[in-house]
């Protein structure tokens, strides 16, 4: 057997008031949550941008180091080729000197 209570204007008013208070509380909680999410996203975005800037700077520095190393190696290679081409007997003397130390 189901028992139903009868609705009265006072109960409707109380129920409506409770619903309004509940919806206002939920609305305020939603605003606070949105503010928190916005703050987290802003912080994350700033952190990612800072990290990207650091990576970009270090990557550019490393590219510069590699370029310098390549230029030095190219210079050294040209020197070796020049020495072998125009002074081949020096290479033989160098090899003999190395063999005497072994």
Q: Does some domain include residue 59?
A: yes
19-48 mean pLDDT: 98
pTM, entire model: 0.55
The SS3 of residue 8 is coil
- How far, in Å, CA of 88 to CA of 94, rounded? 10
The answer to whether residues 50 and 57 touch, using CB atoms and an 8 Å cutoff, is: no
**91 in any annotated domain:** yes
Q: Does the pLDDT value for residue 16 go beyond 90?
A: yes
| CA–CA dist 77, 66 (Å, integer) | 16
Q: Which domain holds residue 51?
A: 24-101
Q: How many domains in the chain?
A: 1
* Whole-number average pLDDT of the chain: 88
Q: Which helix (H) or strand (E) holds 84?
A: helix 9-86
Q: Is 31 among the domain residues? A: yes
For 55-95, the pLDDT digits (tens) are: 999 999 999 999 999 999 999 999 988 888 877 776 555 55
Mean pLDDT of 48-56: 98
Assigned domain for 18 exists: no
């Amino acid at each position: 057997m189901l028992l139903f209570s009868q609705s009265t204007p006072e109960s409707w008013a109380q129920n409506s008031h409770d619903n309004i208070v509940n919806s206002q509380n939920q609305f305020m909680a939603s605003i606070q949550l949105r503010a928190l999410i916005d703050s987290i996203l802003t912080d994350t975005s700033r952190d990612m941008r800072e990290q990207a800037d650091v990576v970009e700077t270090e990557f550019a520095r490393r590219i510069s180091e590699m370029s310098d190393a390549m230029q030095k190696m190219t210079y050294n290679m040209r020197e070796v080729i020049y020495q072998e081409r125009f002074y081949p007997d020096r290479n033989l003397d160098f090899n003999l000197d190395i063999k005497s130390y072994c």
